[in-house]
Chain A
Amino acid sequence: MKRAPGILPWGICFAIFGIFPLVFALILSFLSYNPLRPDLTHGVGFANYARALTSPSFWHALRTTAIFVIGTLPVTLTLAYIVAALLGRLRRAEGFFRAAIFFPATLSMVVIALVFKTLYAEEGLLNGWLAGAGLPRVHWLQSPSLALPSIMLMDIWASVGYYAILILAARKTLPEEQLEAARLEGLSTLTIERRIFFPHLRPVLLFVVLLNTVRSFQIFIEVFVLTRGGPLESTLTLVYHLYERAFYHFEMGYACAIAFLLLALVGLVLLAQRAILGGEPDAAAARARVPSAPALEGEAAA
């Protein structure tokens, strides 16, 4: 309490812009509330939640979101790991490549989406290259089966660099002596990655998984700029569905109920991920024991 004045400005801002909207949205989720007709607001109990759980659109949007999360998370994580490993091995121009890889993370997602909108156009650059190579044009955003993968591809491109730098920073904290010892023992690069780096990086990998999961469940800007949920609702994600209900149909209470269902779902997924991948990041760090050189002898011999 003694240090309260120090955090007061932050605390006030957090209360106004964090706590208050959260509580207000929770209250709204139990109301029928049209912002244009606040005088008609009335309580509906759990009806908004029941409506969402029985709505085909909600389940369709949830399915699309789940496909997006499942499709992007492993690819992003794997690529980020590989890129970090490659960057860690660079002996020249590491700074340049690190900056180049991180560059997409400095751009606004709106800007990235607008650039990809042009790239993916029927008459765009990608189709130009395909046509130049004598290949048929691809309907990147117009085909119901390709629109979501196209957005996923863009999202992976935009995210890999950021996560790669996080993983790279964690790799740099591994004592060089351990690596030297492992190399002297004749361990292969793959074994070093598997037995030394991977356990060391486990806490940061867990952090990356959790962060990327939360981000992926919230996918909105990409859909808003590129496809608006189409074609044939193939890119209708949960947050975009929520946005449509709130700002096109003015069903704020229902939209808030969807938001809290999403919150609960993300919370459950994060808990499951943490349980599967190693619990608390600190605990994971403690468990990530680096094997001693003698312990690795057998493997080196193999």
Chain B
Amino acid sequence: MGAESDRRVALFGPERGLAPSPCPRLRPRAKAWRELRRAPPRPPLRAYGISTSLATALAILLALLSGCSPKSSKRTVVFWQFSPTAAIQPILTRFEAQNPDLHVQVEQLTWQSGREKIVAAIAAGQPPDLCELGSTFLPGLVADSTLRDLTDSVADLRPSLVAWDVASYKGRAYGIPWMVGTRALFINEDLVKKAGLDPAKPIATWEDLAKTARAIATRVPDAKGFGMNAGEREILFKKFMPFAWGNGGDILDSTLTKSVFASRANLEALRFYLSLKPWSLLDRQEMHDEAFAKGRLGIIISGPWLLRKIPQESPDLHYTVALMPRPPRDRGKPASFAGAEVLGMFRNSKHVPDALRLARFLVRPENTMPLFLATGNAFPAAAASAADSYFVSHPKDAVFLTQLKTAVGPPLHPRWVEIEEIINGELEEAIYGKKSAEAALQSADARIQAVLTQAPSP
């Protein structure tokens, strides 16, 4: 009983106004409590309230004032971007040294919440002066006339940068290509060998891919042949469309007014893609990367980030990087998904000339190469970077540069977000066996056409 009471007092504290405890172990506490009650009275609550309010208000005021620096002669350019600050800061420091009248206030966004932050800033009328934007986010911003037309301001940069089509709409440039990315085929040579195939023989066609994936899945215990994305609907089109583009298929026609998604080329591609399912690991991209690095997955479609991950986690893994497979050798092309990071300015961005100076500085090859080396996720959009000696000594990275030549970006259509959602949803149903390849494509085609009919003419 006594121990129980002690525990209760320890948990809930002494109860005020209780009669002296009969328990001898509690008597000293009761005495202390009586002494405490004889202590000088505290100031009235109201006095506490006023003093607390004043102190809080003072603290807030001081905190606000501490954020204000003495007036500087430098103008500030607010720059939002996705790279780690440690990677971008040395480049910005160089810029500030060369432009002593400017100070760059850089902020790192995350891919998980960057979009929301940008939208909120635009809605509040306080967008950054310069902002890194992903190519899949761009169409919506262009459609809503949120981005500033930079065509005339950066006309001189056109020859020196690639991927302008990703940043252009109706021939006008709404962003400056900064970094570009694509996906290629990663092949585990050890597993190919264990499956009884020759790892030196390249996987160049769909048939090669299917044959190798099947051999690994059936002949190597605890290994899967191919990584098929599942459980992350938002990237399915990036994984399927390379096969469709490689086979001559597409999503919209050249005028962007008609869906061609149910074409024969797309149907062949989807049937082939689904035929890989029995030999595949169905999981998210990061799990594919993980399984590949651990040597349990034969072939995956992945990006350059995996080139940095493997040496750290599995330095002994024998693997190669190849272009995406084409249908037969004599037809189609080794297409892949092309993504780009562009530098954009919003309609109500302040300090436009200063932001343009910063953008021009950032896209130079001497500034994009260090960023690529620091992050390893995307390649410089500066055409001259392809000649950098780094790519001679790193042939696996060089494969991505070759892949970029036949990579295709999504159509820059104002309703792209809805179109992408339809494609991803229908592909998911096909992958999970809820619909046949033909039914999924026809359903997607009809739904895309309905969106295009509602949409204003692009």
A114-166 CB contacts (< 8 Å) to partner B: 121-124, 139, 141-142, 144, 147
Q: Specify which chain B residues have a CB less than 8 angstroms from the CB of A94 in the assembled complex.
A: 7
| Alpha-carbon distance A2/B234, docked complex (angstroms) | 56
Q: How many whole Å from B18's CB to the nearest CB in chain A? A: 13
Q: Which of B113-147 contact A (CB under 8 A)?
A: 115-116, 119-120, 122-123, 140-141, 144-146
A230 to B283, CA, bound (A): 12
**A36-B123, A121-B287, A232-B429 known; A5 vs B230 contact (CB < 8 Å):** no
Q: Is A248 an interface residue (CB 8 A)?
A: yes
> Which residues does chain B contribute within 8 Å of A232, judged by CB atoms?
428-429, 432, 434
Instruction: Please determine whether B1 and A176 come into contact, CB atoms closer than 8 angstroms.
Output: yes
A172 pairs with B231, CB closer than 8 A: no
Task: Flag if A231 contacts B46 (CB, 8 Å).
Answer: no
Contact indicator A35/B123 (Cβ below 8 Å): yes
A6 to B425 Cα, complex, angstroms: 54
Contact A142 B283 (CB under 8 A): yes
Q: How far is the CA of A282 from the CA of B254 in the complex (A)?
A: 69
Contacts of B8 in A (CB 8 A): 172-173
* Contact A38 to B123, CB < 8 A, known contacts A121-B283, A139-B282, A229-B233: yes
Query: Is B397 part of the binding interface, using a Cβ–Cβ cutoff of 8 Å?
Result: no
Q: With A142-B231, A231-B230 known to touch, is A122 a contact of B281 (CB < 8 Å)?
A: yes
Interface string of A234-268 (1 = CB under 8 A from B): 00000000000001111000000000000000000
In the bound complex, residues from chain B placing their C-beta under 8 Å from that of A228 are 232-234
Contact assessment for A176 and B4 in the assembled complex, using a CB-CB cutoff below 8 Å: yes
Is A227 on the interface with B (CB-CB < 8 A)? yes
Q: Which applies to chain B's interface (DSSP): helix, strand, loop or mixed?
A: helix
Interface centre among B45, B52, B53, B146 (most CB of A within 10 A): B53
Q: Find B49's partner among A6, A38, A229, A230 (CB 8 Å cutoff).
A: A6
With a cutoff of 8 Å between Cβ atoms, the chain B residues found around residue A35 in the complex are 119-120, 122-123
Measured in the bound complex, the distance between the Cα atoms of B119 and A180 in whole Å is 63
B290 within 8 A of partner (CB): yes
Give the Cβ gap from B49 to chain A, nearest Cβ, in Å: 3
Distance in Å: Cβ of A84 to nearest Cβ of chain B:
13
Interface hits, B348-377 → A, CB 8 Å: none
Instruction: Report which of B46, B230, B294 forms a contact with A3, defined as CB distance below 8 A.
Output: B46
Q: How far is the CB of A292 from chain B (nearest CB, A)?
A: 20
Contact bitstring A9-51, B, C-beta under 8 A = 1, else 0? 1000000000000000000000000111110000000000000
The complex places the Cα of A80 from the Cα of B284 at a distance, in Å, of: 33
A122 touches B119 (CB 8 A): no
In the complex, A123→B292 CA distance in Å?
11
- A230 contacts B233, C-beta separation under 8 Å: yes
Query: Are B231 and A123 within 8 A (Cβ)?
Result: no
Write out the residue numbers on chain A whose beta carbons fall within 8 Å of the beta carbon of B53: 5-6, 8-9
| CB-based nearest A residue for B420 | A248
Q: Is B296 an interface residue (CB 8 A)?
A: yes
Q: Mark A166-178, 1 if CB is under 8 A from B, else 0.
A: 0001001100100
Query: CA separation between A231 and B234, bound complex, in Å?
Result: 11
Count of interface residues, chain B, beta-carbon cutoff 8 Å: 50
B56 at the interface (CB under 8 A from A): yes
- B157 proximal to A (CB < 8 A): no
* B231 / chain A contacts, CB cutoff of 8 Å: 141-142, 147, 227, 230-231
- Most B CB within 10 A of own CB, among A36, A37, A124, A176: A36
Q: Please name 17 further chain A to chain B contacts, defined as beta carbons within 8 Å, in addition to the given A6-B50, A124-B287, sorted by A numbering.
A: A5-B50, A6-B45, A9-B56, A35-B119, A35-B123, A36-B122, A36-B141, A37-B144, A123-B281, A123-B290, A123-B291, A228-B233, A230-B233, A232-B432, A248-B421, A249-B418, A250-B144
Query: Across chains A and B, which 4 residue pairs bring their CB atoms closest together, nearest first?
Result: A6-B49, A35-B123, A36-B144, A122-B283
The 25 sampled A-B contact pairs (Cβ below 8 Å) are A6-B49, A6-B53, A7-B49, A35-B120, A36-B122, A36-B123, A36-B141, A36-B146, A121-B290, A122-B283, A123-B287, A142-B282, A142-B283, A147-B231, A169-B12, A172-B7, A173-B12, A176-B4, A176-B5, A227-B231, A230-B231, A231-B231, A231-B233, A231-B428, A233-B425
- Enumerate chain B interface residues (CB-CB to A < 8 A): 1, 4-5, 7-8, 11-12, 45-46, 48-50, 52-53, 56-57, 60, 115-116, 119-120, 122-123, 140-141, 144-146, 230-234, 281-284, 287, 290-291, 294, 296, 417-418, 421, 425, 428-429, 432, 434
